[in-house]
Structure 1
Amino acid sequence: MTPLRIHQALNIGRRYLEKGFSGANPYTYGVFQINDLNPGLESRVLLALALNISPDYLWSRLQDPLEFSSFRCYRELLRKRIAGEPIAYLRGSQEFFGLDYYVAPGVLIPREETEVLVSWVLEDYPEDFYASEGVQPRLHDCCTGTGCIPWTIKYHRNAWLVSASDIDDTAVETAETNRRNLGVDGRVYKADLLNGLPSGPGVYRFDIITANPPYLTQQEWSTCMDAGWKEPELALSAGDDGLLCIRLLIAQARDWLKPSGRLYIESGPSQCKAVAELLQSAGFSDIKIRNDLSDRERITRGTR
C-alpha cells in the first residue's frame, strides 16, 4: 500500500475541516463569524502537532511519507477540532505579542484584540518614562487568566514591578507557569479583582491597573453555552449587561491607583461608551477609547 504523503494529508485535513465548519454555528468553535476560521491553516497546525514539528517546517517535507501512527494522531486531532475543541487547547499553547503562552482547558485563550491593550500601555509608558525619577512603576493585572497581559508588559519593561491576580485556581496556576516559562519576575495572587491583594488599598498603590474582565452578557453567554463554547464561564460571563465585573473593578481601582495612575479595561465594542461613562462617574479623567485590529472599539482608559 502506497503511504500517504504530507501534502495529501494536508489536503484531506483541509477538506475535512471545510466540510465540518460549513454551515456550523461559529460559537461552537470559539469565534463569532464562521469566516474567522481558516481550515487550511488549522490543518497545517494540527498535522505539525501530530508530527511534533513547527508548521513552517511542513513546507520542506510535503513529499515525505506520513507514518500511519502520525496520521492516526492527526485524524484524532481533526475529530476533536470539529467537535469544537479550540486549537490552543489541542496545542497547549497560544502565541500572544510574539510570545508563546501555555494554555490549559479552563483558562481563557489569549486573543489578538488584547494585544492592543498591551501596545497602548507600552506606548503610554516608554522604557525611559520613569528613568529621571528613579522609581519602579507598579502594574497590576486583574482577571489575568494566562497572564498574557502582565508578563508581556514585564517582558518589555523589565524594571517594572508587575503582579497579577485571578479568582480561579487554574488561572492562578497557569499564570504562574507562564511567568516561569518566560523567565520574568512577578507575583500572582488569588483575588476577587483587587479584593484579596496584600496590604489593602491606599497602602500598596499602583501606577497602572489593567484588566480583560468577563464582559459577555447573560444572553450572549447562553448562546455560547448552547453552541458548546469550550472556554470557562467564569472568564466570560458578567451579568445581564456584561458590565458586572467592570463596575466592581472601577469602584475598587480608584482606591488602588496612585494620583495620575491609569486604568485600562478591555470590553466588547458595544460596551466601551458605557465603560467610559462609568469611569467618568467614578471621577476618572482623560478618558479615551482605542479600537482593536478590526477597527472596533475595544479598550477604554481612564486616569485617576
Structure 2
Amino acid sequence: MKSWRLPAPFLLLLPTFIVLAAVVVVPLLLSVYSSFTPFRLTRPDSIWIFIGFRNYERLLADWDFWVAFGRTVLLLTVALNLEMILGLGLAMLVEKATRGQRALRTVMMFPMMFSPILVGFQFKFMFNDNIGLINNALQSLGLTDRAIPWLIDGTLAFIAILTAEVWSSTSVFAIFILSGLMAMPKEPMEAARVDGCTPWQTFRYVTWPFIMPFAFIAMTIRSLDIARAYDIVKIMTDGGPAKRTEILWTLIARTGYSDARMGLANAMAYFAIFLSIVFTVIFFRKLAQARSQIGAEW
C-alpha cells in the first residue's frame, strides 16, 4: 500500500487542484461543449443535443454579430490610439516636471482606481441631456442653445463611450511610458543635442525607439480590456439606441441571458476570445521587434 501512496507535494496541492477544476476547468469545458449545442436556458435538456459547428456557421451569416464585431474593432482601434497619444503627452509632461513629480504620478493613476461600473455611471450622468455637466457647460459658454442628445443619438453615444474609456485608461499608457522615460539613459539625448538634432528628431530617432516596448506592453493590456469591454457600455447605453452602440460582449450577454440562447452566446464568446488572442499575438510580435531594434541600436 505504501507504494501507491501519493507524494506529499501532490497531496498538499490537491485541494488547490480541486478548487481550480471546480471553478475554472469544469465551467470552461462545459461552455466549450455548449457552444456546439442549441442549449437554451429555458430548455435545459437541449444541452445534450450535439449540432457540431452549426452555431459558428450561423455567426458567419449573422449581420448583427458582424456589426457588433466591427464596432468593437473600431472602439479598440480609436481608443488605443487616443490613449497612446494622450498617455505619451502626459508622461512627457510629468517627466519634465521639476517639482511635485511624485504627486503628479499619484494624480495620474487616479482614474485607474475607479471601477468601470462607477465610471459608466459617472459619464452617464455627465452626458445626461437635461442635468448633465457637459450640456450645462456648453450652454453656459454659449456654444449651443439646446441640449445635445449625447446618449440618444447613435454616433454621439459612441463618442461618449469612447470618452469614458479614454479617460479611465489613458493613465495605463502614461505609467508605462513614464517608466520607460525614467529608465532611459541621458547620454544619447545629450549626444543628439550636441549633434544639432531638433526636438522632433531627438524624439523620433532617440526617445521613441527606446520607449516603444513600453507602449506595446500597454497596448497589449488595453487591447485585452477593450476587446472584452462590457461594464461601461452596459451602464451608459446598454447597447442602444437601437443597438447603435452594441459591441461583442453586450451582444453576447443579450443573446445568452435576455434571449436565453446560451449555446449561441458561448460560440460568440469564443469568437471574441479568438479576436483577443489575435491582437495579443500582433502586439507581442511588435514588442519583440522593438526590443530587437533597441538591442541593435543601444
Larger helix share, 1 or 2 = 2
TM-score (norm 2): 0.23
Larger strand share, 1 or 2 = 1
**Structure with more relative contact order (C-alpha pairs < 8 Å, separation 6 or more):** 2
